[in-house]
Amino acid sequence: MPNEKHFNGRCFRPNMEASPLSNEEAVLLEQGRHEFDNGRYWHAHEAWEDLWNSLKRRNALQTEILLVQGLIQTAALLYNHQRQKERGVTNQWEKLVPKLTSWKTAWGFDIEQHLLNIAVYVEDVGQWQQSYENVRLPLSSEVSE
């Protein structure tokens, strides 16, 4: 199809859009982002898990449930990287890539860039040289709320 891109053998559609979140869900997304951006990956995981459960309870689109699960797994990946857990990093990467590659942006975040940013930590396994000071969930330049 025209306007499709491929990443690790998977296709993503740049025009895929996430549905609006409830006010409570938006707060949970933002809490997770704040924790993630401040290097508190376990707390980001917890906030996003509450969002994930909310989406499941209201029968949100499966792609959006998986998107949040992928965000949770990026936080878990970095948590494992901090502890130099090779298997934890590689297992999370294998699980999150299929969930996030179909998204370019969602809820004001650049998911495509986020994946590229996280890949650096997978490549660093065994070396453990990457720092966390500049790890942020990147904002999309196309925010349309």
Strands 10-12 and 5-7: antiparallel
- Helices and strands, counts by H and E, the chain: 5, 4
Average pLDDT over every residue of 66-93: 98
Dump pLDDT digits (tens) for 25-64.
999 999 999 999 999 999 999 999 999 999 999 999 999 9
Write the DSSP symbol of residue 61.
-
Q: What is the identity of the amino acid at 122?
A: V
Dump pLDDT digits (tens) for 90-140.
999 999 999 999 999 999 999 999 999 999 999 999 999 999 999 999 999
Q: Which domains are present in the chain?
A: 21-123 (1.10.3450.10)
Q: Is 58 exposed, middle or buried (0-12, 13-18, 19+ CB in 10 A)?
A: exposed
Q: What is the identity of the amino acid at 46?
A: E
pLDDT: is 8 or 133 the higher one? 133
> Would you say residue 22 has pLDDT above 60?
yes
The two tokens of residue 37 are 């951006």
Nearest to 115 by CA among 1, 2, 12: 12
